[in-house]
């Protein structure tokens, strides 16, 4: 039976009934189809594609056009999964009008179900306007990689009472602005739990502990593809980097040793045609 794509109300119902949602990032057709086959509730086409696909050091260089292209591929690979497009740096910070137009591009050009943007109170006018435009917005607080410079690096957030209080205030403002869900990144579990119980909308964690309405992980981390660094909150379920290098090396050895391609990897000429060709050539 075909998988049924979830709606915001299904996600809300999952929170209300205590069922955890599980989601993962994907950036291309293949990984999107694997995520759908694995039964993910949602897929995020994160701007982490800057690091995971393009090899940038952070997410700041990622453009709208790159995000749209990757969202289109993911949509084709996961037609029955709720897909969230991640708004890249400078696609929503400049003005409310610009934010609505760019959120609209994700929907019109790539067919996403929702967009996500980073920030607390300071992006609430954008969240409200995008929601007024009939779109679904997910908030993202805690470690917000696009402002890692301001945060002093890719560091855990909300570790003091004052910082945690600010995060809780941000979370409340985001819900009030109309977001359908909130992602909390790299904060202590106790703080995420307070946010989850304070808000009525689903609150998801990446690196914010188990007391959330669901968990997000980066696909390249789960599969063990990303090699540059491993955040504390990552659990690698495979080592595809090693397996892929092994496969590439075996292929290289086969070619160098004259073992590939074997007869079974080649095409046969139509019967009698080789003789005709040789006659012609002579
Ligand atoms: O871009 C992304 O994948 C994200 C996660 C790190 C939360 O925003």
Distance 100 CA to ligand 1 centre (A): 20
Percent of the chain with pLDDT strictly greater than 90: 97
For ligand 1, atom 1: residue with the closest CA: 46
What is the predicted pLDDT for the residue at 3?
82
pLDDT exceeds cutoff 80 at 1: no
Ligand 1 atom with the shortest distance to the CA of 48: 1
Per-residue confidence band for 77, with pLDDT thresholds at 50, 70 and 90:
very high
- Residue 137's CB is within 10 A of a number of other CB atoms, namely 29
Pocket of ligand 1 (CB under 6 A): 25, 44, 46-48, 86, 183, 185, 206, 216, 218
Mean local confidence (pLDDT), 206-217: 98
Range of the domain at 274: 243-281
Q: Which residues are designated catalytic? A: 185
pLDDT exceeds cutoff 70 at 193: yes
Quick one: how far is CA 185 from the chain centroid?
A: 13
Position 196 in a domain: yes
Q: Which residues of 4-16 are buried (b: 16+ CB within 10 A; e: fewer)?
A: ebbebeebbebbe
pLDDT exceeds cutoff 80 at 2: no
Distance 97 CA to ligand 1 centre (A): 24
Position 1 in a domain: no
Give how far Cα 165 sits from Cα of 61, 138, 150, 188, 227, Å: 31, 20, 19, 13, 35
Upstream peptide bond of 261 is cis (omega within 30 degrees of 0): yes
Indicate the length of the chain as a whole number: 282
- Give the model confidence (pLDDT) of 88-134 as tens digits: 999 999 999 999 999 999 999 999 999 999 999 999 999 999 999 99
Element spanning 42, H or E? strand 42-45
- Give the model confidence (pLDDT) of 171-189 as tens digits: 999 999 999 999 999 999 9
What is the predicted pLDDT for the residue at 200?
98
Distance 246 CA to ligand 1 centre (A): 29
pLDDT exceeds cutoff 90 at 237: yes
Distance 242 CA to ligand 1 centre (A): 24
pLDDT exceeds cutoff 60 at 225: yes
Q: State whether 173 and 262 are in the same domain.
A: no
Q: State whether 228 and 247 are in the same domain.
A: no
- Give the model confidence (pLDDT) of 247-280 as tens digits: 999 999 999 999 999 999 999 999 999 999 999 9
Per-residue confidence band for 82, with pLDDT thresholds at 50, 70 and 90:
very high
Tell the residue number behind the tokens 């007869």, with chain if given: 263
For ligand 1, atom 3: residue with the closest CA: 46
Ligand 1: residue of 218, 221, 231, 233 to mutate (most ligand atoms within 8 A of CB) is 218
Domain count of the chain? 2
Q: State whether 215 and 257 are in the same domain.
A: no
Q: State whether 170 and 254 are in the same domain.
A: no
Distance 168 CA to ligand 1 centre (A): 20
Rounded Cα–Cα distance for residues 175 and 187 (Å)? 19
Ligand 1: residue of 216, 219, 221, 230 to mutate (most ligand atoms within 8 A of CB) is 216
Q: State whether 217 and 247 are in the same domain.
A: no
For ligand 1, atom 4: residue with the closest CA: 46
pTM of the prediction?
Answer: 0.95
What is the predicted pLDDT for the residue at 227?
84
Classify strands 114-118 and 137-142 as parallel, antiparallel or unpaired: parallel
Q: State whether 78 and 176 are in the same domain.
A: yes
What is the predicted pLDDT for the residue at 27?
98
Position 180 in a domain: yes
Position 3 in a domain: no
């Amino acid at each position: 039976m075909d998988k049924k794509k979830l709606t915001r109300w299904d996600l809300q119902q999952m929170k209300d009934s205590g069922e955890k949602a599980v989601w993962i990032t994907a950036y291309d057709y293949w990984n999107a189809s694997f995520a759908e086959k694995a039964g993910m509730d949602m897929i995020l086409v994160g701007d982490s594609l800057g690091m995971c696909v393009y090899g940038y050091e952070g997410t700041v260089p990622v453009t709208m056009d790159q995000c749209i292209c990757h969202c289109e591929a993911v949509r084709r690979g996961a037609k029955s999964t709720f897909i969230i497009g991640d708004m890249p740096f400078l696609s929503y910070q400049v003005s409310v009008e610009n934010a609505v137009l760019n959120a609209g591009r994700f929907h019109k050009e790539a067919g996403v179900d929702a967009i996500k943007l980073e920030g607390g109170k300071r992006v609430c006018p954008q969240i409200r306007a995008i929601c007024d435009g009939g779109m679904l917005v997910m908030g993202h607080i805690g470690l917000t990689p696009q402002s890692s410079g301001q945060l002093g690096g890719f560091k855990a957030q909300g570790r003091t009472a004052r910082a945690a209080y600010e995060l809780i205030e941000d979370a409340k403002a985001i819900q009030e602005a109309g977001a359908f869900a909130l992602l909390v990144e790299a904060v202590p579990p106790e703080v995420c739990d307070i946010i989850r119980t304070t808000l009525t909308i689903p609150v998801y964690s990446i690196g914010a502990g188990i007391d959330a309405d669901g968990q997000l992980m980066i696909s390249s981390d789960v599969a063990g593809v990303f090699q540059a660094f491993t955040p504390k909150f990552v659990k690698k379920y495979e080592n595809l980097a090693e397996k892929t290098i092994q496969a590439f090396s075996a292929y290289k050895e086969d070619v160098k040793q004259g073992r590939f391609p074997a007869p079974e990897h080649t095409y046969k000429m139509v019967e009698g045609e080789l003789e005709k060709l040789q006659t012609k050539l002579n």
